[in-house]
Amino acid sequence: MNATAEEKPALTKVIAGFVLMFVLYQAAEGAQTVIAPGNPLGPALMVAALAIAWPIGRWLGGNGFDRFGLALTGRWWAVLLGGMLIAALAKLTSLAVGAAGGIYAVSVEPLAVPASAVAIALLSTFVPSVAEDILTRGFLLTAAPIRLNLWSFTLLSALLYTANHVWRFDWGITEQVRLFCLGLAYGAAAWRWRSLWGAVALHWGWNLTSVLADQVLALETANMDASRIISGSAHLLLLAIVLLWVPNRREVTA
């Protein structure tokens, strides 16, 4: 049985599980960005934030991560790989547009990236992406005992995603707008496929491409606000693609 067909847990249990994971996730984010950047404490806490979702999912009456829409059923892998490819193309396009407009400075000589760095990038972008997707979309998608349609889910999850970046509240309005646009695209993908793999695909694909592009091209941002606007616009394009692409839900629920 997939997560969407399971009996919904009590709202109080969902809230309690959400708060527990939220606190651990914010501790990880705070350690990595403010308190102890570069210290292994932050990544360790982020792994713990993802790991704790499994017992929370069991406590909420599901099969671990399946409770949040991460069931390994049907063609979940096709959704993941396809979404990551689309996100990567969107990221590379935004970089090309930014470079042409002088927003990004790119080194003339591309830098070689060892296989170990690629492996680290894969892991370091996967863990926080999935943890945040569970927190800001998974609870709403398949765990919370509330009825939401496409637009109410997408808007609510986008607001939750923006609010979840508490350590960035002082980064300015362009960062908040950018985050909201990201949340719209990822939330719509989760709803369209009735699976959190849709959101993970876009989220992880974008973050992974960002990290690898920084290493390969040695990017420097000349105008941060303009960079954020380009990033937000790229995600509005991803949102349009998701909304226009009507998936066969048997791909993820079969």
**Could you report the per-residue pLDDT of 229-241, keeping only the tens digit for each?**
999 999 999 999 9
Q: Identify whether 63 is part of a domain.
A: no
* Interval 64-92 mean pLDDT: 95
Given a cut of 80, is residue 125 above it in pLDDT? yes
Paired tokens of 225: 């606000």
Q: How confident is the model at residue 74 (pLDDT cuts 50, 70, 90)?
A: confident
Q: Identify whether 49 is part of a domain.
A: no
Q: Which domain holds residue 135?
A: 72-253
Domain total in the chain: 1
Report the chain's mean pLDDT, rounded to a whole number: 90
Nearest-10 Cα torsion for 238, 199, 243, 6: 180
* Interval 198-207 mean pLDDT: 98
Q: Which residues have C-beta within 8 Å of that of residue 117, sequence separation ≥ 6? A: 215
- Percent of residues, the chain, with pLDDT higher than 90: 74
More confident residue, 107 or 184: 184
φ/ψ of 214, rounded to 5, equals -60, -40
The answer for 57, left when phi > 0, alpha when psi is -120 to 50, beta otherwise, is alpha
Decide: residue 39, CB within 10 A, 0-12 exposed, 13-18 middle, 19+ buried. exposed
Q: Identify whether 248 is part of a domain.
A: yes
Query: Quick one: pLDDT at residue 109?
Result: 61
Q: Identify whether 166 is part of a domain.
A: yes
Q: Identify whether 7 is part of a domain.
A: no
Q: Identify whether 54 is part of a domain.
A: no
Q: Identify whether 47 is part of a domain.
A: no
Paired tokens of 28: 């990880």
Paired tokens of 159: 């607001």
